[in-house]
Amino acid sequence: MDTLTAGQAADLLHLHVKAIQRLARAGKLPAVRVGRKWLFHREQLETLLGRPAAAMSGSLAISARNRLRGRVVRMHVDGLMAEVLLRIGDQELVSVITRSSAERLRLEVGDEAYAVIKSTEVMIGKEEI
């Protein structure tokens, strides 16, 4: 089970550390106090956030059929956004996602990941000869 400090729990929940400690002290967040420190179980916090159990267990269950598996070859995180370059075969795909999504997914260069394309329109092009 993944254990988080108050600071890590604050990052996960996008709250200030003092607010996390206050909620834990009031019994509104599941936590264990060890000495002067609060410890939190990641799974319990993610359950409170309403994240599905499948997402926590490592499976990917979504409605989109257009899923392309690749490998993260570059990441550029700046401010609130993260640019992720995914290599799919001999092609590269760039996605811009929020920094918090990249952190929540724990994306790192070298990770296997999926590009999920959900759109009402896909264009096809061909080079002219």
Are 84 and 45 in contact by the 8 Å Cβ rule? The answer is no
Provide the residue range defining the domain that includes 11: 3-57
Specify the pLDDT at position 67.
79
The better pLDDT of the pair 110, 45 is held by 110
47 and 17 together in one domain: yes
The better pLDDT of the pair 116, 126 is held by 116
Residue 129 belongs to a domain: no
43 and 84 together in one domain: no
Residue 44 belongs to a domain: yes
The better pLDDT of the pair 108, 50 is held by 108
Half-sphere exposure in the Cβ direction for 47 (13 Å, CA): 9
Residue 96 belongs to a domain: yes
Percentages helix, strand, coil for the chain (3-state, rounded to 5) are: 30, 35, 35
Q: Residue 56 above 60 pLDDT?
A: no
Specify the pLDDT at position 53.
47
Rounded Cα gap, residues 41 and 48, in angstroms: 11
Count of structural domains, the chain:
2
Specify the pLDDT at position 51.
64
Rounded Cα gap, residues 67 and 61, in angstroms: 11
